[in-house]
């Protein structure tokens, strides 16, 4: 017995004790009828080969370890960005339990969201009664200012009509007549979580601008000098939105952040649970139609919303998750161009500081090879930044990035001498990436928490940038946008490089001549 009260051993150490190790061996030997060691080793080695990679890339039907989620997750993200808004997902209830858990594991925050809890009878007769009762219950219990409705694949397959259902619910008195209920169909079998974000945000904007689903006259645009900002589905929303606000304030630009969950996912522990906090006010959402222009920070995550806004006569500036110096330069210059305001000296100075930091550290990044995966806009921003640092983004992969996205990444490669030997992989998963990390090894991997399995299997150190990050805390509180964000990304990369360097040079009397105190 190894356990003791003074120094309690939990799973980290307990199962390494001899009594457990022997038990595991017995279980395997006597009861598991396990694969013989030789066959196991043979297969391990085979999965590292070109032959395996070829077969792996020949897959047409099976997806293994994808880096994407489904539409309603994005819809819940978008709904959470509006003042006093309760996300309501029409369909099976298990989905909502999953979205709430997923966000809570990333942000370490509560995520409020209700389901219409459709079951077998609703599958047969449709979910109208679930909508009627669901809206009534949600409204009474949680006193939201707005309920934003989206759908699970169940409701989509049986073809429930949200617009008609919500209308009927109003007639039946579930909610007051003037109560705001924007909606969006978000089928899980189309696109990914970023598509759901786009659809849900479009649902909200369209609802307010185009006459509240027939309940009010459509708004007429009277252009003013304000600028809208749309961040897209963003795991760093807490840090990023605050950084962007600061930048707007430095400029002195009047702005509306369309969809801002940065307070909802960062509430204080002070004795009070805030189901709602912050978010874009409904009034600002409506008035956003009058803005001069809209900055779309992640264009692929916001395609339909951007097109709709443009159709109202606004200029839309389409960006791809800019990270680093040139990316932020572009953002600031666009802001300056739109508003006629000069780029503030304070930001110019920040720029210089980021350049300073890059200059200080570039020797450690220059020429290092990276593989990276994630949402398509994020990949464009990070690829550009790595090229800017003189690194080589050898493998850039996205599960929810398509061929158009791949062409954009290729264009970045083509524009830089560091992009010469780099390749982009659209619509691929992390099992494809596993093969690539064996056949085209790199120095570092950039991705979300699930990349740790690749790190383990291929011995490629993982730098955690992406969504979700479950196994490191509070990263979402730090921006990756703006010059300050660029600095955070740079430091995140550098920390891993230096840690890896130290771990690789700490052999006592063998490699520790390079175990330098100054780097």
102 binds other proteins (CB under 8 A): yes
CA dihedral (413, 414, 415, 421) positive or negative: positive
Instruction: Name the residue with tokens 């669901």.
Output: 134
* Residue 411 lies near other proteins (rule: CB under 8 A): no
Pick between residue 45 and residue 512 the one whose CB is nearest to other proteins. Answer: 45
First to last CA, the chain: 45
For residue 317, the SS3 value is strand
Site string for other proteins, 451-490 (x = CB under 8 A): --x---x---------------------------------
CB 390 within 8 A of CB 361: no
Q: How far is the CB of 76 from other proteins (least distance, A)?
A: 11
Tell me which H or E stretch contains 392.
Answer: strand 392-398
- Nearer to other proteins (CB atom), residue 94 or residue 352: 94
Closest CB to other proteins among 52 and 416? 52
| Residue among 172, 105, 101, 97 at smallest CA distance from 134 | 172
Q: Which of 81, 134, 426, 451 binds other proteins (CB under 8 A)?
A: 134
Is 450 a binder of other proteins (CB under 8 A)? yes
Q: Does 68 bind other proteins (CB under 8 A)?
A: yes
Comparison of 99 and 370: residue with beta carbon closer to other proteins: 99
Q: How many residues sit in the footprint of other proteins (CB under 8 A)?
A: 107
- Out of 29, 49, 51, 97, the residue judged to bind other proteins by CB under 8 A: 97
- Where does this chain touch other proteins (CB under 8 A) — which range of 101-109, 211-219, 223-231, 342-350? 101-109
Q: Which of 169, 150, 165, 139 is nearest to 96 (CA)?
A: 150
Q: Does 31 bind other proteins (CB under 8 A)?
A: yes
Is 38 a residue that touches other proteins (CB under 8 A)?
no
- Residue span binding other proteins (CB under 8 A) among the ranges 70-78, 230-238, 329-337, 505-513: 70-78
Compute the least distance from the CB of residue 101 to other proteins, in Å. 5
Q: Which is nearer to other proteins, 56 or 298 (CB)?
A: 56
Q: How far apart are CA 479 and CA 117, in angstroms?
A: 36
The reply on whether position 3 binds other proteins by CB under 8 A is yes
If one asks whether residue 346 binds other proteins (CB under 8 A), the answer comes out as no
Active site residue 153: yes
Measure the CA dihedral 307/309/311/312, to 10°: 180
Interface with other proteins by CB under 8 A: which range of 35-43, 338-346, 494-502, 510-518? 35-43
295 φ/ψ angles, rounded to the nearest 5 degrees = -90, 120
Near other proteins by CB under 8 A: residue from 29, 44, 352, 519 = 44
Q: How far is the CB of 418 from other proteins (least distance, A)?
A: 32
Three-state secondary structure string covering 434-474: HHHHHHCCCCEEEECHHHHHHHHHHCCCEEECCCCCCCCCC
Query: Measured from the CB atom, is 141 or 415 closer to other proteins?
Result: 141
The stretch near other proteins (CB under 8 A) out of 59-67, 212-220, 287-295, 360-368 is 59-67
Q: Rounded distance, CA 150 to CA 200, Å?
A: 7
Which of 75, 146, 148, 153 is close enough to bind other proteins by CB under 8 A?
153
What is the Cβ-side half-sphere exposure of residue 227, based on CA atoms within 13 angstroms?
25
- Please state, in angstroms and rounded to a whole number, the distance separating the CA atoms of residues 230 and 29: 57
Does residue 81 sit in helix, strand or coil? Answer: coil
Residue range at the interface with other proteins (CB under 8 A); choices 138-146, 251-259, 286-294, 479-487: 138-146
From 10-18, 210-218, 308-316, 506-514, span contacting other proteins (CB under 8 A): 10-18
Determine the Cα–Cα distance for residues 84 and 503; give it in Å rounded to an integer.
48
33 binds other proteins (CB under 8 A): yes
Catalytic position from the list 153, 204, 227, 323: 153
By CB under 8 A, the residues from 215 to 234 that bind other proteins are: none
**Interaction between residue 189 and other proteins (CB under 8 A):** yes
Structure tokens at 335: 């802001």
Q: Which helix (H) or strand (E) holds 293?
A: strand 293-296
Q: Does 117 bind other proteins (CB under 8 A)?
A: yes
How many whole angstroms separate alpha carbon 382 and alpha carbon 505?
29
- The DSSP secondary-structure symbol of 357 reads H
Place of tokens 């993200």: 77
Element (H, E) at 147: strand 146-151
Instruction: Compute the least distance from the CB of residue 157 to other proteins, in Å.
Output: 4
Residue among 361 and 378 whose Cβ is closer to other proteins:
378
In the annotation, is 181 catalytic? no
Contact between 164 and other proteins by CB under 8 A: the answer reads: no
Question: Which of the 8 DSSP states describes residue 420?
Answer: T
Question: Which residue's CB is nearer to other proteins, number 64 or number 411?
Answer: 64
Q: Which two tokens stand for residue 138?
A: 């949600």
Name the helix (H) or strand (E) containing 115. Answer: strand 114-115
Cβ-based burial of 146 (10 A; exposed 0-12, middle 13-18, buried ≥19): buried
Q: Which is nearer to other proteins, 115 or 314 (CB)?
A: 115
The answer to whether the peptide bond before residue 136 is cis (omega within 30 degrees of 0) is no
Helix/strand/coil (H, E, C) string of 236-273?
A: CHHHHHHHHHHHHHHHCCCEEECCCCCCCCCCCCCCCC
- Nearest approach in angstroms of CB 136 to other proteins is 5
Q: How far is the CB of 74 from other proteins (least distance, A)?
A: 10
Of the candidates 82, 99, 229, 248, which one interacts with other proteins according to CB under 8 A?
Answer: 99
> Please, which of residues 254-293 interact with other proteins by CB under 8 A?
267-274
Instruction: Provide the annotated active-site residues.
Output: 153, 157
């Amino acid at each position: 017995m190894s356990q003791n009260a003074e120094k309690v051993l939990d799973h980290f150490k307990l199962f390494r004790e001899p009594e457990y190790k022997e038990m595991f061996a017995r279980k395997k030997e006597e009861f598991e009828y396990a694969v013989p060691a030789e066959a196991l080793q043979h297969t391990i080695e085979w999965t590292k080969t070109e032959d395996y990679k070829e077969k792996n890339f020949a897959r047409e039907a099976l997806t293994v370890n994808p880096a994407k989620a489904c539409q309603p997750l994005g819809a819940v993200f978008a709904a959470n960005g509006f003042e006093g808004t309760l996300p309501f997902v029409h369909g099976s209830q298990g989905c909502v339990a999953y979205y709430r858990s997923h966000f809570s594991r990333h942000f370490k925050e509560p995520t409020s969201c209700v389901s219409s809890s459709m079951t077998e009878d609703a599958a047969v007769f449709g979910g109208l009664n679930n909508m009627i009762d669901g809206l009534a219950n949600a409204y009474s219990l949680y006193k939201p200012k707005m309920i934003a409705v989206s759908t699970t694949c169940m409701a989509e397959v049986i073809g429930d009509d949200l617009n008609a259902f919500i209308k009927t619910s109003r007639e039946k008195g579930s909610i007051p007549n003037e109560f705001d209920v924007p909606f969006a169909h978000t089928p899980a079998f189309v696109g990914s979580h970023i598509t759901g974000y786009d659809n849900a945000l479009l649902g909200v904007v369209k609802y307010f601008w185009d006459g509240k689903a027939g309940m009010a006259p459509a708004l007429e645009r009277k252009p003013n000098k304000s600028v809208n900002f749309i961040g897209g589905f963003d795991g760093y929303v807490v840090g990023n939105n605050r950084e962007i606000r600061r930048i707007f304030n430095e400029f002195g630009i009047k702005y509306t952040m369309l969809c801002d969950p940065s307070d909802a996912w960062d509430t204080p522990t002070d004795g009070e649970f805030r189901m709602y906090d912050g978010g874009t006010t409904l009034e600002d959402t409506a008035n956003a139609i009058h803005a001069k222009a809209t900055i779309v920070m992640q264009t692929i995550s916001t395609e339909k919303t951007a097109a709709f806004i443009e159709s109202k006569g606004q200029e839309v500036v389409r960006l791809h998750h800019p990270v680093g110096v040139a990316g932020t330069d572009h953002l600031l210059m666009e802001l300056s161009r739109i508003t006629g305001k000069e780029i503030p000296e304070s930001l110019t100075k920040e720029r210089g500081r980021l350049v300073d930091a890059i200059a200080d550290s570039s020797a450690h990044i220059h020429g290092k090879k990276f593989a990276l995966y994630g949402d398509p806009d994020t990949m464009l921003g990070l690829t550009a930044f790595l090229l800017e640092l003189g690194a080589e983004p050898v493998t850039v992969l996205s599960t929810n990035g398509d061929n158009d996205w791949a062409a954009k990444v290729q264009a970045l490669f083509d524009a830089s001498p560091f992009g010469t030997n780099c390749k982009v992989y659209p619509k691929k998963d992390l099992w494809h990436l596993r093969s690539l990390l064996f056949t085209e090894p790199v120095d570092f991997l950039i991705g979300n928490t699930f990349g740790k399995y690749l790190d383990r299997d291929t011995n490629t150190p993982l730098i955690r940038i992406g969504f979700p990050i479950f196994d490191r805390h509070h990263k979402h509180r730090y921006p990756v946008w703006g010059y300050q964000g660029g600095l955070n990304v740079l430091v995140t990369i550098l920390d891993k490089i230096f840690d890896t360097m130290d771990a690789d040079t700490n052999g006592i009397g063998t490699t520790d001549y390079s175990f330098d105190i100054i780097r």
